[in-house]
Amino acid sequence: MASEVTYAEVKFQKASPAAEVKVPPKTKKCEHHPQKYPAWLPWLISLLLFLVCLALAIALLAASLCPGSDSGDQPTALQQRAMEWRCTSALPQSKGLGWRCCPRDWKLFQESCYYLSPDPLSWAESEQNCTGMGAHLVVINSKAEQNFLSKELQKFRKGENYYIGLKAQEQEEWHWVDQTPFNETAAFWRKGEPSHTYGEDCVVMHRLSEPPNNWNNVKCWSHHRICEAAAVTV
């Protein structure tokens, strides 16, 4: 028996060509070669940073000790003229500022500096001289201040009479140079003063009188003077 062979017709669809895959070109890897620095370079950088910090610290310290630098204001005439200063610790310390400074040859008391003149001038010239130094003729506000100045005058011994900033604009109408109201109960007249002599419109402290009452009204002629300015706090 002859075997039968069966044939089947098979149709194949034409296969689409395989999609072309683009392969990026190979890039050459960059080889990293660490840069070599001299062994002393980190030490040099550290030294430079230290010197910069040190310079800043010195600048800040100098600024803090410079009179008038703490407020950022322009220096006063007194600060511009004075070349040498003397500072005293201020206790209790306030706002981190612990020193009060006066120009050399000025006297410090509380928050003011005082200048006792070795030479005599008229009252108007005395006030002009004080103003030229960034000060004014002294304005006495308390018994403590009066006692301090009286003791300083007794040690100074350059003359008998020293102008203060008190003057009569009218007969016995006393006025302080800085417009502080005159308080009769806080005045320190000598016994029998003020006298009612015409023309005695200026006031001095009499060095030889027993403190605290040593004020005397005089004619505005040539006498020594006491200038006052605010102390510089640093």
Write out pLDDT tens, residues 105-149: 999 999 999 999 999 999 999 999 999 999 999 999 999 999 999
Query: What token pair was written down for 150?
Result: 């009286």
More confident residue, 140 or 15: 140
Alpha-carbon gap, residue 176 to 68, rounded angstroms: 26
Q: Cα dist. 135→45, 106, 128, 206 in Å? A: 51, 12, 9, 21
Higher pLDDT, residue 47 or 145 = 145
Per-residue pLDDT reduced to its tens digit, 157-197: 888 999 999 999 877 799 999 999 999 888 999 999 999 88
Residue 50: predicted pLDDT:
86
Three-class DSSP category at 17: coil
If one looks up domain 113-227 in CATH, what number appears? 3.10.100.10
Count of all residues that appear for the chain in the document: 234
pTM here is 0.67
Least confident of 45-54, 127-136, 149-158, 204-213: 45-54
For residue 24, the model assigns a pLDDT of 54
pLDDT at 5: 44
pLDDT, one tens digit per residue, over 19-37 is 444 555 555 555 555 566 6
